[in-house]
Structure formats: structure tokens, C-alpha cells
């Protein structure tokens, strides 16, 4: 709901039976959605936001700013890091323990070069958050659209890379949808790392094997409508794709996960109008509620 004000989003979520919201906080007039103006947030503004959530009986689970922290342009990278710090500051004012982000990638450098670069430039961001009682939780989305050839643009897409980023002090904002199309079993992958999962996102994926046979795992090469048009899989709301949600929730439960699971709606079938978006969120709710238990 990028064009809907925060008050209306919170009110609708409460009425629809959602317990919490992860709230987007891109710069105002920036490339991503923004329901929190973290650049201008002070104690009074934070109190207003907190009161809005409290009155609705909804928790604010995380502040979300998913941008490329390894951008190849030094000026863009510096602005990204500065805004991430403002998100951390806002989380402190709001009493929110998590800020969601990406690792990112410089597509002009190799993976090995990117990892070495990250080990130098990202720990200060982790320390900035930790010193303020905030954890940086990284979503495991490959962000293939950030790479000119559709290769991973966010170096946090596999358990191998999770272990690497855990060593830097990051945590996981676990989203099983990305693992499915990568050929990774979502439940088996997360089971050894549940203690590092502080937040989760619920999105589904629908795979078309015949189209994959035509295009290969890297996706459509000729005639892509846009950088995200891979041609053989698409995101769906939970329950309308091929993620085994019983196995995923059971793996989280078995590992002791007690955090929030935020529905991330990128389903083209249930998009296009506010009414269809809301119906998609209701389908997701109805899929997940029997598995996660009653509302708090």
C-alpha cells in the first residue's frame, strides 16, 4: 500500500486481524515506499507513531529499508549508509528492536571482491546499530534485478552466505519464497540457523517448470519486459504458490522462533487495485493464521 497513509494502513491491518507491521522507511520521494519519515523523526514524532500503533493494538515489528549497501557508486553508497543510520535512530525512538536491510553487491566486482569489501565497510553499520540496542536483519532476497545479467545482486541468498554475514554481526530476516526458486529447500535451509532468525517475511513463489526448461535458471534473456522479468517463476501470496508453509512454520517453531512474520505482498494476481491488494493480504492471513496460532 505505498500510496496509502500510515494511519490508514495500521487501521486496516488491525481490522483485518494482523498483529504487527514491518514499516517501510525509504527516503521521502526516494525509489522505495515510505510510511515513516525517519529523516525528520524526533521524540514527539516517534510518540505520535507509537500512539497510532498502540491505539490500534498493532505492534511495529521492524523498520524496513532494503537498499544496496555495497553500491558501486561511492556517493550513492554513502547516502544509503547514512539513511540506514537514520532508520536505526528512528528504531531507537520507536522502541523497535530490528531494522531490515540488504547486504547488496557491486555488480562490476566479483563475489570474492564484494565479500572482502563488505568485511571492511559493513561492520561499522552493525556496530552503530548494536551500540543502540538494534539488530540489522537481512532479507535473503537475491535481488537479481540489481545485476545486469540477472545474477544475484544481494549477497545473502544462501546458507553459505548467511554464515558469512552472521560472522559480521548481521541476523536473518528469513523469507522462504526466494529459496524455492533457487532450488533450496526452505525448511531444511533455515533449520540450523533459527537462533539467528530475529524476524521473518511470508511470501510465496509459483514455479513454471516448462518455462524454466526454455529459459534456464537465470531467466529470460531476449525480450525481458523489465529487469525482474525472469519468465519462469513469480511471487504469490502465501497459500497460492508452492512453499510448504506447514514445514516452514514447523521448522521455525522447532528452533524456538518467537518473532514476527510479516506478509510481503508482491503477487501480480492479487494486485492492481487497492481492493485486490487487500484481498491478497486476507488470503495470506487465512493461510498462515492456523499455523502460527491465534492473534495475540
CA angle 189, 194, 200 (to 5 degrees): 90
Q: CA separation (Å) from 141 to 50, 69, 79, 165?
A: 29, 14, 22, 14
pLDDT (tens digit per residue) in 53-82: 999 999 999 999 999 999 999 999 999 999
Q: How far apart are CA 227 and CA 147, in angstroms?
A: 8
Q: How confident is the model at residue 223 (pLDDT cuts 50, 70, 90)?
A: confident
In angstroms, the CA 10 to CA 6 distance is 6
What pLDDT sits at residue 295? 74
| Residue found under cell 553500491 | 71
Domain boundaries, the chain: 6-203+246-292
Note the Cα 266 to chain centre separation in Å: 11
pLDDT at position 36 is: 95
pLDDT (mean) for 242-257: 98
| Sign (positive or negative) of CA dihedral 80, 85, 86, 92 | positive
Q: Is 7 exposed, middle or buried (0-12, 13-18, 19+ CB in 10 A)?
A: middle
Mean per-residue pLDDT, 137-147: 96
Pairing of strands 59-64, 98-101: parallel
> What pLDDT is stored for residue 296 in this prediction?
67
- Would you state the cell numbers that stand for residue 246, as one nine-digit string? 506447514
Over range 133-144, report the average pLDDT.
97
Residues 77, 221, 155, 129, CA torsion sign: positive
pLDDT, tens digit, 9 for 90 and up, residues 226-243 = 999 999 999 999 999 999
Whole-number pLDDT of residue 30: 79
Query: What's the pLDDT score for residue 231?
Result: 95
The mean per-residue pLDDT over the stretch 6-16 comes to 97
And the C-alpha cell for 133? 540496542
Closest CA to 243 of 142, 163, 152, 174: 174
Residue 216: how many CB atoms within 10 A of its CB? Answer: 12
Q: What is the pLDDT of residues 175-203, one digit of tens each?
A: 999 999 999 999 999 999 999 999 999 99
pLDDT bucket at 31, cuts 50 / 70 / 90:
confident
| Fold exhibited by the domain 6-203+246-292 | TIM Barrel (3.20.20)
Mean pLDDT, the chain, whole residue set = 96
Taking only the tens place, the pLDDT of each residue in 101-122 is: 999 999 999 999 999 999 999 9
Amino acid at each position: 500500500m505505498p500510496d496509502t497513509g500510515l494511519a490508514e494502513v495500521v487501521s486496516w491491518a488491525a481490522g483485518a486481524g494482523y498483529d504487527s507491521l514491518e514499516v517501510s522507511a525509504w527516503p521521502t520521494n526516494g525509489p522505495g515506499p515510505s510510511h515513516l519519515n525517519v529523516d525528520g523523526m524526533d521524540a514527539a514524532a516517534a510518540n505520535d507513531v507509537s500512539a497510532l500503533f498502540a491505539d490500534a493494538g498493532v505492534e511495529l515489528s521492524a523498520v524496513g529499508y532494503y537498499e544496496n549497501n555495497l553500491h558501486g557508486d561511492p556517493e550513492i553508497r554513502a547516502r544509503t549508509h547514512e539513511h540506514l543510520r537514520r532508520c536505526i535512530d528512528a528504531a531507537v525512538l520507536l522502541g523497535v528492536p530490528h531494522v531490515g536491510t540488504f547486504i547488496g553487491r557491486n555488480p562490476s566486482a566479483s563475489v570474492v571482491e564484494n565479500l572482502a569489501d563488505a568485511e571492511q565497510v559493513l561492520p561499522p553499520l552493525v556496530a552503530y546499530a548494536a551500540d543502540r540496542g538494534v539488530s540489522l536483519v537481512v532479507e535473503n532476497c537475491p535481488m537479481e534485478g540489481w545485476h545486469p545479467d540477472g545474477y544475484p545482486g544481494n549477497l545473502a541468498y544462501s546458507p553459505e552466505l548467511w554464515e558469512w554475514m552472521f560472522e559480521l554481526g548481521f541476523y536473518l530476516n528469513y523469507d522462504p519464497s526466494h529459496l524455492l526458486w533457487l532450488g533450496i529447500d526452505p525448511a531444511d535451509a533455515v533449520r540450523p540457523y533459527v537462533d539467528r532468525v530475529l524476524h521473518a517475511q511470508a511470501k510465496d513463489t509459483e514455479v513454471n517448470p516448462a518455462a524454466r526448461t526454455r529459459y534456464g535458471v537465470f531467466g529470460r534473456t531476449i525480450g525481458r519486459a523489465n529487469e525482474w522479468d525472469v519468465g519462469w517463476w513469480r511471487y504469490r501470496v502465501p497459500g497460492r504458490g508452492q512453499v510448504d508453509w506447514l514445514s516452514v512454520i514447523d521448522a521455525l517453531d522447532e528452533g524456538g522462533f518467537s518473532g514476527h512474520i510479516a506478509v510481503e505482498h508482491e503477487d501480480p494476481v492479487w494486485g492492481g487495485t487497492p481492493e485486490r491488494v487487500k484481498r491478497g493480504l486476507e488470503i495470506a492471513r487465512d493461510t498462515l493464521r492456523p499455523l502460527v496460532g491465534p492473534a495475540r
